[in-house]
Chain A
Amino acid sequence: MSLNRRELLGGAAALTTASLLPNVTLAADAIKLGSILDTSGIFDAYGKPMDMATRLAVAEINEAGGLLGRPVEVVAYDTQSDMALYSQYGQQLTRQDRVDVVHGGILSASREAIRQTMRKSKTLYFYNVLYEGGVCDRNIFINGVTPAQQVEALVPYAMGKSGKKVYILAADYNYGQITARWIEKFVNDNGGEVVATDFFPLDVSDFGSTIAKVQTAAPDLVIAPLVGGAHLSFFRQWAAAGMKDRIALASTTLGVGNEHKVLTPEEGNGIMCAYNYSQELDTPENAAFKEKWAAMFNGDQSMHEIAVSQYHGLMTWAEGVRQAGSIERDAVIAALETGISITGPGGKVTVDPNTHHAVLDVHLMEMQDQQMRVVETLPQRQPIDTQAVCDLSANPDDNTQYEIEI
């Protein structure tokens, strides 16, 4: 067969176009669920399990007969860890695909890139990730833990196990800055003292001088809201310097992307954290969830905190649709605002009507042999940080991300 250049280019163009089309299998009257996640690129360690959670939840809903007698189909876009693609695919989901609901977004930047598009086009939007708190918008529902939920639980526990002098090492962007302020507040509330706070840009991977500085300050406890692969070095260097048995260590982020499976037991053991989900949660819901996940994805067990949040988000939305008896946005919001609860792998999750955030269980954990051993469960924590600034029932037209003053 001879192939000239024009035919080759034509074929390649056709193939490229075909692969750009979303994977839609059209059923006559299916409910369209838009999914927008980074399933490739530098954030895919977060996005891939979230996408799997979406598929699992939708498969479950459809097996149970769909919603309102209609099947749910997923219209999924991969944003390739590129913030610019969020705006583009966000427009496409709302204008071209005209989906009934959108679930997705991972970084806060990606959420803010599509939130206004969703609001303007009156498309219901679920953001299912642990984040810095403060978003107040009637069109969005958020069910990740916020700093107050997590820190309020973690600080007294960690201080109880160590002492009153705390050193904070945080990532230098809005998540780390805001979380550090919350840590300081709860340390003071619990009669402790923050001896120092250091912030690190996301690409800092050398913590030698910091470790020496921490020793000069001689705290009882180090709390580290550090983010990403470069910051993982801190935990490694901390252990290498032999600090692990001398000063207690807690983190608000370690483990969200299954980092505890990367650290060796010697490096990870004893680090304290608090999340909504751990694979080691001993509940029938979690056991069933892990089994279904393994069955659907050939034995894979990569579910993590935010993949489970995504699953919770989908289940909450499905319950809202069932109770509303409609797929129409305002009816579903009204139903969700009655304070719907679901019980998922991370425990009971309830919609907080005033903030559209979630009331959920926070589990205190300690790392042990590359697992997140659950030490204690604090049931049904309120998102008090966002509640302090946001009241959608009094002010339904609010459309702000508040920076919380402490």
Chain B
Amino acid sequence: MDLTFVILVEMLYAVASLVLISAGLAVVFGMMKVINLAHGEFMMMGGYATITAVNLGVNVFVAMLVIAPLVVGLIGLVVERLVIRHLYGRLVDTMLATWGLSLVFIGLATMIFGNTTTGISTPIPGFAVGGYQINGYNFFIIVVSILLVIGIYAVLRGTRAGLIARGTMQRADMAAALGYSPDRIYMATFFCGSALSGLAGAVLAPLVGLVPTSGGAYIAKAFITVIAGGPSLIAGLVSSATSFGVISQIFTFAISPVIGEVALLIAAVVLLRTMPQGITGRFFKGKL
């Protein structure tokens, strides 16, 4: 019984961390069609922003939930103004440019923070469930992910800004004809996407040893989740994160972590073979 609960929590946690890792990319790639290969590095910078702020004496939750998204969002803003805005609609060129950016960010982080592993300890203690100990921080990540999904949904669905953003992503020319500036809307959307990546990196920072190259560990999973999710932003994100998280955890518990990772990749291949448009290309059609 206790074990069932522990496994359930671990599964929820796996799903939540996939949602977290992919949310920023879902906005930047899913909505804006910008292949951001520097997504992992945005997360890495979120982690460093958190650690730096904590070392300067800032409360760890403020550092994770406020400072890191702001810092990375601003970095994203600069990147968008200098590089990305010249490349909208040029898929291959953005790939090359953002890959270059990822190298630049790794280099800069190495220069500033050095190439040694850094980190902070988790702010929430573990607790016992029957005979098992669970990492209390897992619940924090689950809660953050749920709030994040609700937040994105509320903004896109319920606010005028969200409506304008969605409209612009679909038909920039129509939005312009109605008097909105696509340029500025793209800029704001990229800021939000970067901030989400920064938040993900920040929230995951206490669980990992951070090095400037840490971003590489996330990028593949993020792309797999977003692409398998398909055209709908939120429904896609949640459905693909759930399928992959559950599948990989089942195999991790039943066999081993390596097989868990393998199962995730095989699931992705099968999924894209049977549903080339992604999960939401077939189910939940037309949902947000």
Contact = CB atoms under 8 A, between A and B. Distances in A.
Interface in A36-50: 41-42, 44-45
Interface residues of A, number: 43
Given A200-B258, A264-B121, A230 B217 contact: yes
A198 B208 contact: no
Contacts of A215: 6, 131-133
B138 interface: yes
Contacts of A233: 207-209
Nearest to A172: B258
A216 B4 CA distance: 11
Contacts of A266: 121
Interface stretch (A2-10, A235-243, A364-372): A235-243
A375 interface: no
A378 interface: no
Contact of B137 (A211, A230, A240): A240
Contact of A44 (B7, B115, B134, B252): B115
Interface in A255-277: 257-259, 262-264, 266-267
Interface in A52-105: none
Nearest to B251: A209
Interface stretch (B122-130, B159-167, B178-186): B122-130
Contacts of B55: none
A213 B118 contact: no
A208 interface: yes
A403 interface: no
A237 B125 CA distance: 11
A209 B208 contact: no
Contacts of A208: 10, 13-14, 135, 138
B213 interface: yes
A202 to B, nearest CB: 9
A206 B217 CA distance: 11
Contact of A209 (B126, B209, B216, B253): B253
Contact of A203 (B17, B134, B217): B217
A216 B3 contact: yes
Given A209-B260, A240-B135, A232 B119 contact: yes
B126 A212 contact: no
Interface in A204-237: 204-213, 215-216, 229-233, 236-237
B261 interface: yes
A201 interface: yes
Given A45-B115, A209-B10, A209-B252, A237 B257 contact: no
Most buried by B among A199, A206, A236: A206
Given A42-B211, A172-B258, A230-B217, A262 B132 contact: no
A230 B3 CA distance: 26
B249 interface: yes
A246 interface: yes
Main secondary structure, interface of B, reads mixed
B155 to A, nearest CB: 29
Contact of A242 (B119, B128, B249): B128
B116 interface: yes
Contacts of A240: 121-122, 124-126, 135-137, 206-207
B49 interface: no
Nearest to A200: B257
A236 B121 contact: yes
Contact of A229 (B17, B125, B214): B214
Nearest to A199: B258
Contact of B258 (A201, A205, A209, A257): A201
Interface in B3-50: 3, 6-7, 10, 13-14, 17
A211 B135 contact: yes
Given A204-B257, A240-B121, A241-B135, A212 B10 contact: yes
B211 A229 contact: yes
B170 interface: no
B59 interface: no
A213 B209 CA distance: 22
A258 B131 contact: no
B196 interface: no
A172 B262 CA distance: 14
B210 interface: yes
Contact of B209 (A204, A232, A241): A232
A210 B13 CA distance: 13
Most buried by B among A199, A208, A241: A208
Nearest to B127: A242
A204 B10 CA distance: 16
B12 to A, nearest CB: 10
B201 to A, nearest CB: 12
Contacts of B128: 242
A232 B117 contact: yes
Contacts of B131: 215
A262 B116 contact: yes
Contacts of B217: 203, 205, 230
B253 A212 contact: yes
A104 to B, nearest CB: 18
B232 to A, nearest CB: 27
Given A209-B10, A216-B3, A229-B210, A241 B257 contact: no
A369 to B, nearest CB: 14
A185 to B, nearest CB: 21
A306 to B, nearest CB: 14
Given A209-B10, A262-B117, 20 more contacts: A42-B213, A45-B115, A199-B256, A199-B257, A200-B258, A201-B261, A205-B207, A205-B208, A209-B260, A229-B210, A229-B213, A230-B209, A232-B117, A236-B206, A236-B209, A239-B121, A240-B125, A240-B126, A240-B136, A242-B135
Which 7 residue pairs of A and B lie closest in terms of their CB atoms, listed nearest first?
A242-B126, A232-B209, A240-B122, A241-B135, A229-B211, A241-B126, A233-B208
15 contacts: A42-B211, A198-B256, A200-B257, A208-B10, A209-B253, A212-B10, A213-B252, A230-B209, A230-B214, A230-B217, A240-B125, A240-B135, A257-B117, A258-B116, A267-B121
Interface of A: 41-42, 44-45, 172, 198-201, 203-213, 215-216, 229-233, 236-237, 239-243, 246, 257-259, 262-264, 266-267
